[in-house]
Amino acid sequence: MADYAVIQEKIEEEKSKLVEIARAIHSKPELGGREFFASELLSGYLEEKGFKVWRGLGGLKTAFMASYGDSGYHVGFCSEYDALPDIGHGCGHNLIAVAGVAAGVALAAALKGRSGRVSVIGTPDEEDHGGKVDLVRAGVFDDIDAAMMFHPGCSTSIYVESLACRDFRFIFHGRSAHASCEPWEGQNALDAVIQTFNGVNALRQYLKDDVRIHGVIPEGGLVPNVIPDRAAAHFIVRSRDRNYLMEVVEKVIACARGAATSTGTAFEVSESGYPYEAMVSNRVMADLFAESLKEAGYNIESPHREGLGSIDMGNVSLVTPSIHPVVALTDEWVPGHTHEFTALCDTDEAYHVMLTVGRAMAITGLKAIQDPAVQEQIKCEFKQYPAC
């Protein structure tokens, strides 16, 4: 309990500065890959607190790792800090960023003079590109024994799941013609896009309940009196089951192929190189966090439940034991990715939850570092040993 008191005292000592940093990031939202202000603010603060800092991690200009300790069980806290276009921090990444930093600083204070390592990993561009995918590929998480982060919301869910996700763009090539005088001379690429959407809509009734398919038309022609010779559709396909997801992807591609055949157009398909994997929450770690969240004094009870999305923390969870709990900022319902949620993420109540969660993550990390039996349980579940 004395160690927990050190964590509490450290966060209380740094409270004003931590809230100041979170407010500053909220007031200056930056899109993914351009978070230079937030990245420098966070990494600079950690450097001042005695962490060794590496910037430009994994080839990403705004990624960083800040580490304390030289040996022992290695706990990593992920910090996100990218914003949404127009909406700003409508996903609460200013809170995610500083909760990870608070946890890192507090755990480092509790580790002074003993074995154990703690790192804060600055993971940019979660909303669009999936910065953690690059960092996983670069081996950044290979040396982390347990990784964690939190996400703010209007419900609390400790054992978070997510949907595996694939991102595709179909481009159809036809032939332009005058839409009134000689339409028979054309091959309408936009018709192919519309047929693709119709095919996907017909497909939905045959798919499992957890599947999500959604798309937009980024290109559909320029003027209505010219038959479009080029049109594009952009689809995202999601499912809990990675293998089933691949079956659905093949069906969606078949819809586009059929649309091209029926309209006499040619089509090409390209996939984003950043697929998101489904989140696998380590239940041993999640149990520790749930226990620690109560010990940290969290007491918001929300009746709401949020749906499933896709997160690049899922990719991390396949290479190291991980958790990604969602913690409610309020018991009222405020939809995420809205201006209303942006406003909520710059309130005293939100910053109180941010620091409480930071404290809980630090306690969770300390429990794992101090107990070899817990470490083995975490590792055992991650490897899915039948004996566990």
For residue range 14-58, list pLDDT tens digits in order: 999 999 999 999 999 999 999 999 999 999 999 999 999 999 999
Structure tokens at 184: 């028979």
Extents of the domains making up the chain: 2-162+276-383, 164-271
CATH architecture of 2-162+276-383: 3-Layer(aba) Sandwich (3.40)
Helices (H), the chain: 2-27, 36-48, 93-111, 131-137, 189-203, 242-263, 283-295, 313-317, 339-344, 348-370, 372-383
Q: Which of 277, 355, 291 is CA-nearest to residue 322?
A: 277
| pLDDT of res. 308 | 84
124-128, 144-148, 290-294, range with the lowest pLDDT: 124-128
Over residues 5-20, mean pLDDT: 97
Residue 36 sits at the vertex; the CA angle it makes with 34 and 39, to the nearest 5 degrees, is: 115
Structure tokens at 291: 């226990």
Is the predicted pLDDT of residue 386 greater than 80, yes or no? Answer: no
Instruction: Transcribe 89-108 into DSSP letters.
Output: STT-HHHHHHHHHHHHHHHH
Q: Which residues of 236-270 are buried (b: 16+ CB within 10 A; e: fewer)?
A: bbbbbebeebeebbebbbebbeebbeebebebeee
Q: Which of 357, 351, 359, 358 is CA-nearest to residue 22?
A: 351
Is the predicted pLDDT of residue 388 greater than 70, yes or no? Answer: no
Over residues 91-106, mean pLDDT: 98
The three-state secondary structure class of 286 is: helix
Cβ pair 246, 181 in contact under 8 A: no
pLDDT > 90 fraction of the chain, expressed in percent and rounded: 91
What confidence tens digit (pLDDT) does each residue in 345-379 have? 999 999 999 999 999 999 999 999 999 999 999 99
Q: Which of 9, 74, 12, 17 is CA-nearest to residue 42?
A: 17
Over residues 171-184, mean pLDDT: 96
What confidence tens digit (pLDDT) does each residue in 265-288 have? 999 999 998 899 999 999 999 999
Q: Which residues contact 179 (CB under 8 A, 6 or more apart)?
A: 186, 224, 225, 226, 227
| pLDDT of res. 1 | 59
Q: Which CATH number fits domain 164-271: 3.90.650.10, 3.30.70.360, 3.20.20.140, 3.40.225.10?
A: 3.30.70.360
| pLDDT of res. 197 | 98
Is the predicted pLDDT of residue 317 greater than 90, yes or no? Answer: yes
Q: Which residues of 183-195 are buried (b: 16+ CB within 10 A; e: fewer)?
A: eeebbbbbbbbbb
| pLDDT of res. 215 | 97
| pLDDT of res. 113 | 82
Q: How far is CA 35 from the centre of its chain?
A: 16
d(Cα 276, Cα 263) in Å, to the nearest integer? 33
Cβ pair 132, 123 in contact under 8 A: yes
Over residues 132-157, mean pLDDT: 96
Is the predicted pLDDT of residue 385 greater than 60, yes or no? Answer: no
Mean pLDDT score of the chain: 95
| Structure confidence at residue 129 as a pLDDT band (50, 70, 90) | confident
